[in-house]
Homo-oligomer: A and B are copies of this chain.
Amino acid sequence: MAKRKENSTNSLNNNVLTKCPMSFTIEMIGGRWKTIILYQLRNEPLRFGQLRKILILTTEKMLAQQLKQLELDGLVVRDAKEIIPPHVEYYLSEKGKTLLPVLEAMAEWGKVHNQLSKEC
Q: Which residues of A contact B (CB under 8 A)?
A: 9, 12-13, 16-26, 28, 30-32, 35-36, 39, 57, 59, 95, 98-99, 101-103, 105-114, 116-120
Contacts and interface: CB of A to CB of B under 8 A. Distances in A.
Contacts of A109: 21, 25, 98-99, 102
Question: DSSP class of A's interface residues: helix, strand, loop or mixed?
Answer: helix
A22 B36 contact: yes
A32 B25 contact: no
Given A20-B110, A117-B19, A120-B23, A102 B105 contact: yes
Number of copies: 2
Contacts of A35: 22, 25-26
Contacts of A17: 116
Contact of A117 (B20, B105, B106, B118): B20
B57 A13 contact: yes
Given A9-B59, A26-B32, A32-B13, A19 B114 contact: yes
A22 B113 contact: no
Contact of A23 (B9, B12, B18, B32): B32
A23 B99 contact: no
B105 A21 contact: no
